[in-house]
Amino acid sequence: MEELSYAAFLEQVNTTFTIVSPDSTQSVELTLIEAVQTLRDERHENFSLMFQGPLQPQLPQGNYRFVHEQMGEHIMFMVPVGQRQDGMRYEIIFSRMLT
C-alpha cells in the first residue's frame, strides 16, 4: 500500500493515468489534477484525488484499473463528481491505517 500513499500521488499531479473499464472494453485517459490530504497522524492517512477526463465517455462510479507509467497498475473505486466545460471530474478517496 505504500505506493498508494498521498506522497506518491502528490508527485504525479498533472500526469496522465489510463483507466480501463471493469469489462476491459474501453480505456480513457484521465489527468490527476489535485491531491488533498485531509488527515495524517501516526496511525491514519486520509486524502482525496481529483481527476479530469473527457466529456465523453462519462464513466459511472465503480472499480477501475488505473495504469500509470511511474505508479504501475492498481484497481481503485472512482466516483464522478461533476461535469465542467473542460471535462468530467472524478474523485477517489483514501482512508487507511498506517503501520
Mean pLDDT is lowest, of 50-59, 61-70, 80-89, 90-99, for 90-99
The predicted pLDDT at position 39 comes to: 73
35's grid cell: 491531491
Q: In which domain, by residue range, is 40 found?
A: 2-17+29-61+78-97
In a domain, 41, yes or no: yes
The number of domains in the chain is 1
> Does residue 90 have a pLDDT over 90?
yes
End-to-end CA distance of the chain: 10
In a domain, 33, yes or no: yes
In a domain, 43, yes or no: yes
The Cα 62–Cα 81 span in angstroms is: 13
Stated pTM of the model: 0.88
In a domain, 57, yes or no: yes
In a domain, 9, yes or no: yes
In a domain, 51, yes or no: yes
In a domain, 22, yes or no: no
Angle at 8 between CA 5 and CA 9, to 5 degrees: 90
Label residue 98 by pLDDT band (50, 70, 90): confident
In a domain, 10, yes or no: yes
Q: Is there a contact between 30 and 17 (Cβ–Cβ < 8 Å)?
A: yes
